[in-house]
């Protein structure tokens, strides 16, 4: 599609609102987790598994539904998905056990599929030159978790925990009705002429795996941090639950809002350049965040000198803020690059990348909990993120080197450079007569 269609802005607005609502449901345990950890007496690993349950189902279903969205209406699939999570939210007050919360989390976790369906839906309406900005604005729906951090404490304060699930169910029903009535239907000619990439094609494409690894960090770690940070602030800086959620809300809101700006930068300067800059900014910040609080005693001539090495809450928050902004840019730029390579397969290709990225939000909280239980230090989570990012940067460096080599090779062939060399070699190999 070369031109932006007339109803594009309305489609983008409704899609962003629906995505924000679904994302708030998907991350519901981020606000409920601390209370549930205390109620169920969970270890750090058990807490990580609880947070990962909704993320797991949303991640797994992104791939098959993304492939399906290239074949049928993504708008219709999205509407069914929103209606499917309402019963799970209504059942939330009746759950009391740890296993019950895990199973219910897997159920309403299917709201995480909304991103894949939304990308497929939104990308049909905009020209290629505006894809970065359009998908970046759509990605602002990540701020839906801010809704969770604000509304859940209010609902608990005025009505109690038993009303959180029904309150969210009512909100999801309203959003579903608005989407069904106001969101324009997809441009049928485009939807009818596309064929989805098969799972075999996706799995055999090395480029898709690279994009997935990048998204594993920029989105997966963002998702993991918004789930983990409330507990981190309470453990590392002795905050109460409300203060911890307020600081986490700042991280989430800023990271989500700058995604639109990241899309504009990706359109202007290229998604690959933005990604590389994002990785460098993040790895510098993670280097300082990974260092655990340390007391160093130097034995002097007359007395011992004690040095305290660590980040106070304000320096820590500044570094987390910088990482959040960088990740917001990165989430937008990755999907700009995906559209550059797979403009007609945003459901299947985008769904594959989104699934791997969401698995980061599932696996990383568990790894955070294991690292804390094994190492006994709170900064173990940032050590893990540092390792993941180092792998991303190494992969991207060699991929860029290979791309530059292919460009030089193509240029040489275009100038008949290789052809002349081949002919000269053949001439030398011919026997003299």
- What is the SS3 assignment for the chain? CCCCCCCHHHHHHHHHHHHHHHHHHHCHHHHHHHHHHHHHCCCHHHHHHHHHHHHHHHHHHHHHHHHHHCCCCHHHHHHHHHHHCHHHHHHHHHCCCHHHHHHHHHHHHHHHHHHHHHHHHHHCCCCHHHHHHHHHHHHHHHHHHHHHHHHHHHHHHHCCHHHHHHHHHHHHHHHHHHHHHHCCCCCHHHHHHCCCCCHHHHHCCHHHHHHHHHHHHHHHHHHHHHHHHHHHHHHHHCCCHHHHHHHHHHHHHHHHHCHHHHHHHHHHHCHHHHHHHHHHHHHHHHHHHHCCCEEEEEECCCCEEEEEECCCHHHHHHHHHHHHHHHHHHHHHHHHHHHHHCCCCCCHHHHHHHHHHHHHHHHHHHHHHHHHHHHCCCCHHHHHHHHHHHHHHHHHHHHHHHHHHHHHHHHHHHCCHHHHHHHHHHHHHCCCC
Per-residue pLDDT of the chain (433 residues; tens, 9 = 90+): 456 677 888 888 999 999 999 988 988 888 887 788 888 888 888 888 888 889 888 888 888 888 888 788 888 999 999 999 999 999 988 888 898 999 998 998 899 899 889 888 888 888 777 777 788 888 888 888 888 888 888 887 787 778 888 989 999 999 999 999 998 888 755 444 456 667 777 778 888 888 888 889 998 898 889 888 988 998 888 888 888 888 988 898 888 888 878 888 888 888 888 888 999 999 999 999 988 877 778 887 778 887 777 788 999 999 999 999 999 898 888 888 887 888 777 777 888 888 888 888 888 888 888 888 888 888 888 999 999 899 888 887 887 677 677 777 777 777 666 554 444 444 444 544 4
Q: What is the pLDDT of residue 280?
A: 93
Q: What is the pLDDT of residue 192?
A: 43
State how far the Cα of 54 lies from the Cα of 89, in Å rounded to an integer: 12
Q: What is the pLDDT of residue 162?
A: 82
Which of 235, 231, 233, 247 has its CA nearest to residue 50? 231
Which CATH number fits the domain 8-389, given the four candidates 1.20.1250.20, 3.40.50.300, 3.90.1150.10, 1.10.600.10? 1.20.1250.20
Q: What is the pLDDT of residue 176?
A: 94
Q: Which two tokens stand for residue 49?
A: 């598994």
pTM attached to this predicted model? 0.76
* Ramachandran area for residue 270 (φ above 0: left; ψ -120 to 50: alpha; else beta): left
328 within 8 A of 257, measured Cβ to Cβ: yes
Largest CA distance in the chain: 101
State how far the Cα of 331 lies from the Cα of 328, in Å rounded to an integer: 5
180 within 8 A of 290, measured Cβ to Cβ: no
Q: What is the pLDDT of residue 148?
A: 84
Please report, in angstroms and rounded to a whole number, the separation of the first and last CA atoms in the chain. 60
Q: What is the pLDDT of residue 428?
A: 46
Which of 4, 262, 220, 36 has its CA nearest to residue 135? 262
Which of 155, 182, 211 has its CA nearest to residue 349? 211
Q: What is the pLDDT of residue 1?
A: 44
Q: What is the pLDDT of residue 427?
A: 46
259 within 8 A of 135, measured Cβ to Cβ: no
Burial of 76 (0-12, 13-18, 19+ CB in 10 A): middle
Q: What is the pLDDT of residue 103?
A: 93
Q: What is the pLDDT of residue 426?
A: 47
């Amino acid at each position: 599609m070369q031109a932006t269609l007339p109803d594009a802005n309305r489609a983008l607005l409704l899609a962003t609102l629906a995505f924000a609502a679904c994302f708030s449901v998907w991350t519901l345990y981020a606000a409920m987790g601390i209370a549930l950890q205390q109620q169920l007496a969970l270890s750090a690993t058990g807490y990580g598994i609880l947070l990962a349950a909704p993320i797991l189902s949303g991640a797994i279903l992104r791939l098959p539904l993304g492939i399906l969205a290239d074949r049928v209406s993504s708008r219709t699939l999205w509407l069914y998905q929103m209606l499917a999570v309402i019963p799970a939210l209504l059942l939330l007050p009746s759950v009391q056990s740890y296993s019950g919360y895990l199973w219910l989390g897997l159920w309403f976790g299917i709201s995480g599929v909304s991103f894949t369906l939304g990308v497929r839906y939104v990308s049909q309406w905009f020209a290629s030159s505006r894809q970065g900005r359009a998908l970046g604005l759509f990605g602002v729906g990540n701020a839906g978790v801010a809704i969770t951090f604000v509304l859940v404490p209010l609902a608990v304060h005025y009505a109690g925990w038993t009303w959180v699930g029904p309150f969210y169910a009512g909100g999801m029903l309203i959003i579903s009705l608005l989407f069904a009535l106001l969101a324009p239907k997809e441009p049928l000619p485009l939807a009818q002429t596309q064929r989805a990439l098969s799972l075999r094609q996706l799995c055999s494409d090395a480029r898709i795996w690279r994009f997935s690894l990048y998204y594993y960090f920029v989105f997966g770690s963002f998702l993991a941090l918004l789930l983990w940070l409330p507990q981190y602030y309470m453990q590392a800086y002795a905050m109460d639950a409300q203060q911890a959620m307020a600081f986490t809300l700042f991280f989430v809101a800023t990271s989500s809002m700058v995604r639109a700006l990241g899309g504009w930068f990706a359109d202007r300067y290229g998604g690959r350049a933005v990604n590389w800059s994002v990785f460098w900014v993040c790895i510098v910040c993670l280097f300082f965040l990974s260092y655990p609080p340390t007391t160093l005693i130097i034995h002097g001539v007359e007395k011992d000198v004690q040095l305290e090495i660590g980040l106070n809450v304000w320096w820590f928050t500044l570094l987390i803020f910088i990482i959040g902004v960088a990740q917001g840019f990165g989430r937008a730029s990755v999907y700009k690059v995906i559209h550059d390579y797979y403009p007609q397969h945003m459901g299947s290709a985008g769904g594959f990348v989104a699934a791997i990225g969401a698995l980061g939000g599932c696996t990383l909280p568990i790894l955070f909990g294991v690292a804390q239980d094994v190492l006994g230090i709170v900064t173990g989570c940032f050590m893990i993120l540092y390792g993941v990012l180092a792998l991303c940067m190494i992969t991207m460096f060699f991929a860029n080197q290979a791309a530059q080599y292919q460009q030089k090779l193509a240029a040489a062939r275009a100038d008949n450079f290789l052809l002349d060399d081949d002919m000269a070699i053949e001439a030398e190999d011919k026997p003299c007569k």
